[in-house]
Every structure is written in C-alpha cells, then in structure tokens.
C-alpha cells in the first residue's frame, strides 16, 4: 500500500504515541477504532491498548523489537500484565533515572543502539531481553539516540546531524542501511513522526514530499 500520512489527537507526532513491531501495535487508550484499524491494517498487526504509567506517550516510554520490550519504570503492574498477556513478549523495566526508554533505545531484530546515558550493566540486560547485540553511543553532545534513529528490519532513518562515520557504526549494529532525513517538514528527531515495521510505514501528516521520498528509499517501501 505504500507509506501513508497520519495524525492522532490532531498531532503529527505519531511516533510519540504508538510503538510497533512486526506483530503488534501498542496504542494509548482513547484513540478511535477507525484510526486503530487504519494503523493495524497498514502494518498488518494486532492492537494492544494500554497506557504506560498512566501516560498516552507509548512511543516515548517504550522500545521494542520482535523479541522483547523495554519499558519505562513508570509502568504500573496492571499495564505490564496487559502487555505481557496480549503480546507474549519478554518485558523489562529500564533500570535508569531516565524514564523515556523510547528516546534512549533504537532497535530492530538484528541489533540495538542505546544512549550512553544507559550504563553497561543495563545495556547487558537490554541485550538479553531484545536478544540482539547492543552498542552504547551518543552523537556529539546529543544523548537521545532513540529519538534520533528509527529502524525496522529493512532500513532505518536518522537525524541529519549523524555523520558518515556514525552512520557506518549504526549500520554495522542494525545490519540495515541508514539514511539521514527529517520528518514532519523539518523535524530531525525522526522517531517522533513515524510508526513502522517491516511490512509498512506511517508518517506524520506534516511530512513533505521530499521527506516521503527519503523515507521510502530508506525503508524500501
């Protein structure tokens, strides 16, 4: 079907509110059934509806691949039970004073790039849950690596500031090509404006034509 533009709560920052892998969409409560159907139909996944710590910011508070999910330590017990029961995924709370797991971790089924704000011991735990090699890194003085990279098993996009040397390091870990771009007409924190899996892509409604071309090329959609 190709990439489609989308918004939620009249907001183009769709990646902040949703998290997806090749089997499931985790969505916040209160999204209309028609919008959920559009996303799940496009990505060919099942929906799991829950808050995280009472928040709708699912994408910012989680990181996920096909093997497991890392969640903010703010998650409530009943929310954790919903996710584990409906997905069957291994779940682990991020053991860090930083709560936005999705802004600190970029992962696919081949590897994970994580912020150097996450210590080595926790990096090992993340590797175990996601069942992939993990590389700790930051870009210049920017630590929100999960916000700067969005990856699937077919490709990835990255913040324009990320240079060729760092792109190579990211490619080596994620084992997919990575291209610099923005979303939503110039937003460099690319994960904020995209919901993606191997099957397909949705981007924020403000994404320009040239950005659509870059995202299409990056993910091979």
Quote the number of domains for the chain. 1
Which residues pair with residue 149 across a beta bridge? 158
Residue 94 belongs to a domain: yes
Question: Does residue 6 lie within any of the structural domains?
Answer: no
Residue 24 sits in a domain of what CATH number? 3.75.10.10
Complete DSSP assignment for 43-111: HT-EEEE--BTTBS-HHHHEEE-SSEEEE-TT--HHHHHHHHHHH--EEEE--SS---HHHHEEE-SS-
Full domain range(s) for residue 141? 11-219
Q: Which pLDDT band, with edges at 50, 70 and 90, does 139 fall under?
A: confident
Residue 158 has pLDDT above 80, yes or no: yes
In a domain, 177, yes or no: yes
Phi, psi (rounded to 5 degrees) for 43: -90, -10
Determine, yes or no, domain membership for 183. yes
pLDDT digits (tens, 9 = 90+) for 94-105: 998 999 999 999
For residue 127, pLDDT beyond 70 = yes
Structure tokens given for 108: 């696919």
Residue 152 lies in a domain: yes
Structural domain contains residue 3: no
Of residues 38, 47, 45, the one with CA closest to residue 4: 38
Looking at the predicted structure, is the pLDDT value of residue 67 above 70?
yes
Give the pLDDT band of residue 1 (cuts 50, 70, 90): low
pLDDT in tens, 32-48: 999 999 999 999 999 99
Residue 15 lies inside a defined structural domain of this protein? yes
Provide the pLDDT for residue 140.
77
Q: What percent of the chain has pLDDT over 90?
A: 95
Confidence bin at 221 (pLDDT 50/70/90)? confident
Whether 145 is covered by a domain: the verdict is yes
């Amino acid at each position: 079907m190709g990439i489609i533009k989308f918004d939620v709560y009249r907001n183009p920052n769709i990646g902040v509110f949703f998290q997806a892998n090749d089997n499931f969409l985790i969505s916040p409560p209160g999204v209309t059934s028609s919008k959920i159907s559009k996303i799940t139909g496009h990505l060919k996944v099942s929906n799991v509806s829950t808050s995280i710590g009472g928040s709708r910011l699912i994408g910012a508070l989680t990181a996920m691949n096909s093997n497991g999910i890392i969640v903010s330590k703010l998650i409530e017990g009943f929310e954790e039970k919903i996710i584990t029961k409906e997905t069957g995924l291994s779940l682990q709370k991020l053991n860090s004073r930083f709560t936005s797991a999705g802004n600190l971790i970029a992962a696919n089924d081949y590897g994970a790039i994580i912020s150097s704000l996450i210590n080595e011991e926790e990096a090992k735990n993340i590797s175990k849950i996601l069942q992939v090699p993990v590389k700790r890194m930051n870009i210049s003085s920017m630590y929100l690596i999960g916000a700067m990279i969005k990856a699937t098993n077919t490709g990835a996009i990255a913040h324009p500031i990320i240079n060729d040397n760092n792109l190579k390091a990211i490619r080596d870990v994620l084992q997919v090509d990575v291209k610099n771009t923005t979303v939503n007409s110039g937003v460099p924190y690319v994960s904020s404006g995209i919901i993606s899996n191997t099957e397909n892509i949705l981007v924020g409604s403000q994404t320009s034509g040239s950005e659509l071309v870059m995202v299409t090329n990056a993910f091979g959609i």
